[in-house]
Copies of this chain bind each other. A is one copy, B any other.
């Protein structure tokens, strides 16, 4: 599976490079990481990779539809390889951990606003805010 990255990259019209493989490896093993963490983890396999290279790779992956970018309020952007199913996220207000939630309804946009005010809507982004099990236990 891990060696299928090159096929995915080529399908998206992107060249196969070592930084891209490394970043995809990190995303596969660490879903919902931020760019800085990707740099740190990716350096285990590719010590010379630069932060800017990671930003560039992430932009290419998102542009090519291989990764998805989420930006929970009050924190850096996070990335995941799970794309195309319009799933949603649970975010902990305390520790910031992000967990996937399957979409309650069908395909994207899974919800329709009551009044679109003339907008042409293509995506409904849903974020559930709360406390994860661990942080909730500590609070008490």
Contact = CB atoms under 8 A, between A and B. Distances in A.
Interface string A93-136: 00000010110100001011111111111111111111111001
A120 B130 contact: yes
Output the residue of A73, A113, A132 with the most chain B CB within 10 A: A113
Contact of A121 (B116, B118, B128): B128
**Identical copies in the complex:** 2
A121 B113 contact: no
A60 interface: no
Contacts of A117: 90, 99, 101, 132-133
Interface residues of A, number: 38
Nearest to A104: B114
Given A71-B74, A128-B109, A133 B118 contact: yes
A74 B128 CA distance: 19
